[in-house]
Structure 1
């Protein structure tokens, strides 16, 4: 199945969003790169996904991130034991930290209006609200991921101070051009390699 998400960059003073269509079997690690391209981030910074609603149920403290984070199995043996012993652990809102390469979108986005927050750069704290708007049949003539609509520019890397001081104008009336530029990235062979790998400079 294909998930249609509306991804909105929060707290930037104007509407900045992207409408993205993504295969439901995409991992959260792959979604990270899809969002990098959609919002013109470079990948210098840490990130995580904070799940807020799954299967229509609100979540609190369910986080997914890169493997360099601390999985729940290491951070809290008590919570791990509880999850192993509960017959339906998904019914209990237990905090956990899961590895993005192992979690698929379909594991968490179950129905329309399920949502998550993608946080990029823990210093500038760019928060993107991800809302599942539609679940679609794949179009045999389409290539995924696919950006179908876009609104305004995203700020450049490390620009929170410039944005807050009013030195940065994100207005861009040409949403069609933004959409085309994003899709051009997605169609480029090896496009994920264009983003920084933090292991290269840590």
Structure 2
């Protein structure tokens, strides 16, 4: 289905120990699809705005008001990884939720031939659990971790209830992430096969 793939590492900046993920994805993937993949592997819930910064250009979901504020946003779906690789670009800054301001360093580590019979994207691994949505950025997450890790903290029960249960920083939910990525791969495969059938019909 694809000839070449990129191995990509995603690091959530500003936190130690690092929260990171690694994936393999087709070079035909555009930045909107990469956004969806990042949401799946961190995992976030895709309920806030996002953008990719590349030099002085920003890619995301353009809004008519952007021009009014002198802030041009280019279509994320209009830029593919293959274009970045061919231009020598190996690193992007991905920001999710402009309030909490979660910044991710996205690095293209390698470009390789696709493995025969493999449906991409593929999840390769990662470490540590992502902060909860709407926790209040880095300061809020630090306060949250302090509360949930200390039974004597005055907000311990409140924070556990708010997050829906125990928060284990080292358990990033690998099984669920693998399931999410396989779902994306299956959807992509179905779309590709439909495109090929349509193309064959037109040619005939």
Please state how far the C-alpha of 1:12 moved relative to its aligned partner. Answer: 2.5
Q: 2:11 aligns with which of 5, 8, 12?
A: 8
- Structure (1 or 2) with the larger CA radius of gyration: 2
Match for residue 183 of structure 1? 178
Name the SS of the counterpart of 2:37 in structure 1. helix
After TM superposition, the score normalised by the length of structure 1 is: 0.69
Q: Which runs of structure 2 are paired with 1:25-104 in the superposition (5 Å)? A: 25-51=28-54, 59=55, 61-68=56-63, 97-104=73-80
1:127 counterpart = 2:130: no
Match for residue 87 of structure 1? none
Query: What is the rounded CA distance, in whole Å, between the counterparts of 1:25 and 1:190 in structure 2?
Result: 13
Query: What is the rounded CA distance, in whole Å, between the counterparts of 1:63 and 1:49 in structure 2?
Result: 6
Q: 1:167 aligns with which of 135, 140, 147?
A: 147
After TM superposition, the score normalised by the length of structure 2 is: 0.69
Q: Which runs of structure 2 are paired with 1:101-120 in the superposition (5 Å)? A: 101-110=77-86, 114-120=90-96
RMSD: 2.9
Unaligned stretches of 5+ residues in structure 2: 149-166, 188-204
Is the contact made by 1:153 and 1:171 (CA closer than 8 Å) also made in structure 2?
yes
Query: What is the rounded CA distance, in whole Å, between the counterparts of 1:122 and 1:27 in structure 2?
Result: 21
Q: 2:114 aligns with which of 121, 126, 138?
A: 138
Judging by fraction of residues, say which structure has more helix: 2
Higher relative contact order (CA 8 A, sep 6+): 1
Please state how far the C-alpha of 1:70 moved relative to its aligned partner. Answer: 6.3
